Structure 1
Amino acid sequence: MYKSIKYRITLVTSIIFIGFILLVAMASNFIFKDFLMDYYYQLLQKNDQSIINNYKIYVTLIEESAKQIGTNSKVFDLLKNNNTEGNITEILDGIKLSNTRILAVILYDTNGRYYTSSYVVDYPTLSELLKDKRIKEFVANDKKQSLWLIRNRGLAPYYNNTYYKSAYGVVSFISKIYDENKRLCGYLVIDIDPKYFYQRHFGVSDHADISVYLYDKDIGLLPRQDEQTQTLLKLSSVIKNRKIDTNTLKKENSLIRIDDNTLLDIVRIFESGYIVILYDISEFGRDILTYTILIVIVSSLLIGMSFLSSTILTQTIYKPLINLVDKIRKYNYSS
């Protein structure tokens, strides 16, 4: 009888302690795994919004620079009359020198003659550029005044930039030039090193947990010369397997989990061009796992302590109870 009382007391106190510790462990796991992960996603999305805003600013700067060319009387005179009086190269260099990642500025007239900024060798002719269907459609469309696109063909074999290789493509801005009478007289082309879109001042640092790529619906994924082949193949596989489809491309600023350790985001920067951002969350996942394991260990220790505490508590209650019962029995026997 006494032993059953002892076991019941031990069982009840143990269940209370264990239940309390399990509740704490579940709450801790929710905080670390769910709440913190959601908060982490929100921070990444805010980072994406910062990237979008910075891209828009840079795109606007390039477009405003092109407008300056389009209002220059020397440019009109050159395009209409092939008058080389004055230094047209100096005018084009004015745009090129505004940023070190601008590779070349080229001015075409409607007859195909072209003029380039300094240190650009053997730039493709207008007829060669028109082999690109997107450029050909742009030139034929009277309503469209400018075009942003990613190109990996028909590039100049040499730009004066030791960090650039033409095999990795360019981002081009093409604008139509009109004279005072609103008649088309030429085209302005600005080639930009894709590396500009990977730089940290856009909100994407050079940390190992973030990788940025350029993606075009027409030419696909643009490789990075400083990127590991394994990561590039992984992302290419995602695109080829239609995990990035038309509907996905319409969803700006939305994170897509492509595996346990990688989040992918798509940011549209112009008509057919997108920034693809890969977030490696394996380190964050390891931190969450570490904290979860720590909680489990602490919980286990507390469970062990609960058994010890329940045993001590049982003894504290059990012994006085037995003594009291013995005294009552002795009293009954004596009376």
Structure 2
Amino acid sequence: MDMFNVLSKRIVLFTVLPVLICSTLLSLFSYLWFQHTLQKQFEQLALSYFQSSSDSLTQYLHYSEEMSKWITNNPKVAKAISETEHLKEVSTIFDQMIYNNNVDISGVTIYKKNGDIYTPSRTSHVPSFSQLIENTNLKAFTQNTQKKYIWISRYQSISSFYNNRYSNDGIFSYILKLYDTDNQLLGYIVVDLDLKTLYDFFQTSNKLFNKSQVFMIRDQKDIAGSTKSATIKLNPNDLSKMNQKNDGTFISNDRKQLIMFDTMMDSNTKIVMSIPTKNAYQYSVLFKALLILFTILFTFSSLYIGIALKKSIIEPITRLYQKMQAFK
């Protein structure tokens, strides 16, 4: 009888164990495959959104370039730029062209070589040209006869113009050299954009981007958040990666963030979006539960099969053995 009991246990064991191992391995493989697939889909969707937003931002910046040309091509503005006399009506023209037409730029300043400055009427405390080129990048631009324009973030030693709204965060500026028909430099037009306007291109309520952050890196070291309360913690290795390329995508050094970045119009500024990688798995809880349920069902199924085998094979043999023993 002991022999049959041992055989009975072995049948149950060798029925349950392989099924349990196979179901566990299958569940583990399915989970890892699902995690990998989710991560890849997450990265593709996030990158698609970032690229689309970045393209829209680029179109807006090109629009701002055309806006500056539209302003300088106004006959009265062109006259003010080319003549030595200071024309007071230019400020009114700026008001009509910019504010009355609801043009989405923060302000415009024209600096003439003779020292004259033209601005809209509501702009105050505009820096002088000498203050403007205290920025080393701008000074190099004015000395480069080949370069006609520059995009640049200005955030250091900015005087409190535009009603002191942008002195803390800085502004993003397009600066274009102005020439006469003989290609002689007459001055510069500076078109300033509010950083919030630029950040707005990357705002979304999609849950995929929950707790994401949008920020700028200026001159490879200065980090500006999209809100004053934003705290941007960037690993030095991650910063180094972004400083090596104009654009790209990578997983942060601590594996917790998907980081996407792009250089804005060949300027000193990169726009960056970081998204928690855990966002990729926000819908994986149900899948985990299904895998656990799958494993449990297979385990109980194998137990049932083992017990059924025991009853259909071992018990008849045991009864036969008992009858044979009765004839002795």
TM above 0.5, yes or no, is yes
Residues in 2 aligned to 1:196 and 1:20: alpha-carbon distance in whole angstroms: 56
3-state secondary structure, aligned to 2:238: coil
Per-residue deviation at 1:24? 2.8
CA distance in 2, matches of 1:295, 1:10: 24
Determine the structure 2 residue equivalent to 1:264.
259
Whether contact under 8 Å (1:261, 1:285) holds in the other structure is no
Compute the displacement of 1:89 (Å). Answer: 2.3
Partner of 1:171: 172
Moved more, 53-62 or 20-29: 20-29
Choose 8-17 or 85-94, whichever is displaced more: 85-94
- Contact kept? 2:238, 2:252, Cα under 8 Å: no
| Counterpart check, 1:69 vs 2:71 | yes
Residue 8 (structure 2) aligns with: 6
Deviation string 1:129-177 (CA, Å, 9 cap, x unpaired) is 011111111111111111101111343414259xx44211111111111
User: Aligned to 1:121, what secondary structure does the other structure show?
Assistant: coil
Residue identity matched to 1:322: T
| 18-27 vs 288-297, which moves further | 288-297
CA displacement at 1:96 relative to structure 2: 5.5
Q: Quick one: structure 1 residues 28 and 253, their matched pair in 2 at CA, closer, same or farther if it must change by over 3 Å?
A: same
State whether residues 174 and 187 of structure 1, in contact with CA within 8 Å, keep that contact through their aligned partners in structure 2: yes
Q: 1:312 to 1:246 in 2, by over 3 A?
A: closer
| TM-score normalised by structure 1 residue count | 0.84
Whole-angstrom CA distance in 1 between matches of 2:251 and 2:296: 36
TM-score between both structures, scaled by the size of structure 2: 0.86
- C-alpha distance in 2 between matches for 1:97 and 1:253: 39
Partner of 1:213: 215
Q: Cα offset for 1:261?
A: 2.7
Show the counterpart of 2:141.
138
Conserved? CA contact 1:77–1:83, under 8 Å: no
Q: Please state how far the C-alpha of 1:203 moved relative to its aligned partner.
A: 4.4
Letter in 2 for 1:306: S
Q: 1:226 to 1:291 in 2, by over 3 A?
A: farther
SS at match of 1:255: strand
Number of the residue aligned with 1:320: 316
Structure 1 CA distance for aligned equivalents of residues 142 and 33 of structure 2 = 56
Deviation sequence 1:37-73 (CA, Å, 0-9, x none): 1111111121222122112211110111122234333
Residues of 2 paired with 1:215 and 1:99: CA distance?
29
**Residues 225, 109 of structure 1: alpha-carbon distance in 2 compared, 3 angstrom cutoff:** same
Distance in 1 (CA, whole Å) between partners of 2:242 and 2:195 is 25
Partner of 2:60: 58
Deviation at residue 248 of structure 1 after TM alignment: 5.0
Count of residues in correspondence between the two structures: 321
Report how far residue 222 of structure 1 moved.
2.0
> Between the two proteins, what is the percent identity of the paired residues?
25
How many angstroms apart in 2 are the aligned matches of 1:156 and 1:22? 66
The AA in structure 2 aligned to 1:269 is: M
Instruction: Specify the code of the residue in structure 1 equivalent to 2:119.
Output: T
Q: Which residue of 2 aligns with 1:274?
A: 270
Pick closer, same or farther for the CA change 1:288–1:248 going to 2, 3 Å. Answer: farther
Aligned partners of 2:170, 2:283: CA distance in 1, in Å? 38
Q: Is the 8 A contact 2:237 2:253 kept in 1?
A: no
* Root-mean-square deviation (Å): 2.8
Kept after mapping to 2: 8 A contact 1:92/1:106: no
